[in-house]
Amino acid sequence: MEDQAVCCYRHPQRETGISCTRCERPICPECMISASVGFQCPECVSGRASAGSGASAAGPPPRAAQPRTLAGGTMASDPRLITKILLAINIAIWLAALSAGDRLVNDLDLVGRAYDPGTVQVVGVAEGQWWRLVTSVFLHQQLMHIAFNMLSLWWIGGPLEAALGRVRFIVLYMLSGLGGSALSYLLAAQNQPSLGASGAIFGLLGATAVLMRRLNYDMRPVIALLALNLIFTFTWSGIAWQAHVGGLVAGTVVAYGMVHAPREKRALVQRGTCVLVLLAIVAMVWIRTVQLTG
């Protein structure tokens, strides 16, 4: 007979393999709070903080007992706030692009070096327009493109933001997007324009796989989803596979450093991992710029 699925005691619809080290109740990533050994549930943490609040003035400050996420971030009342903000930014820029037409798209999309008939100038990242590496991550034209990316962001981003915390989540998103832009800039044709949040979304997908492996969840669903997306990436025409692969690699590396960092060296390992990924991005951009302008 198959084992019955274990679900979080606060969110009965979520299966989990993690239990509170104090009360042993099952908890999901949104509820787990990092402790000196393992993870604890919000009730045990709040009970411990209340019990110790009147002990003595020499005890740890209130901030020391503040609930933390799996990666060490601060627990937030709205675990999807950054996800909602990113959705709003992408949709706002999409609407602006619809209103302004091709002119705005030509000013914000990712292109290495190309002649722009509208301005009668050579434009691109190689010409010093570095902002294109960032703006292209938030730029969409087609309805299906932004709809697919934003639905993916909502489904994947919320649980990741809850598990990592707001600051770490936005760092993960931006480095994934920049990783996709950098690899696309490095390997794609210099006059090939690209845009969209797909690189960042692939980074979140890679981070989800890392998180699920860290929590000993069933990896088959995320592996199947990742494989399906990679098949689409390399078989459908008009897709910048470089952005997808670059975002996937960057997001996976950043997430691994965040969730596997030892508690005693958490800040050092997490920041070091992010700096190394950023340096790799800068190196790719510099190499391609030298190739195009040298």
Enzyme catalytic residues: 198, 244
Residues 6 or more apart whose Cβ sits within 8 Å of residue 118? 102, 103, 106
Q: How many helices (H) and strands (E) does the chain have?
A: 10, 6
The tokens 């943490």 sit on which residue? 45
How far the first Cα of the chain sits from its last, in Å, is 68
The tokens for 164 are 């990592």
Amino acid identity of residue 284, one-letter, is M
**Torsion angles phi and psi, residue 36, rounded to 5:** -60, -35
Helix/strand/coil for 288 = helix
CA 44 to chain CA centroid, Å, is: 29
Q: How far apart are CA 174 and CA 14, in angstroms?
A: 28
The pair of structure tokens assigned to 135 is: 């703006």
Mapping DSSP to helix (H, G, I), strand (E, B) and coil, where does residue 98 land? helix
- Considering all CA atoms of the chain, what is the largest pairwise distance in Å, rounded to the nearest integer? 73
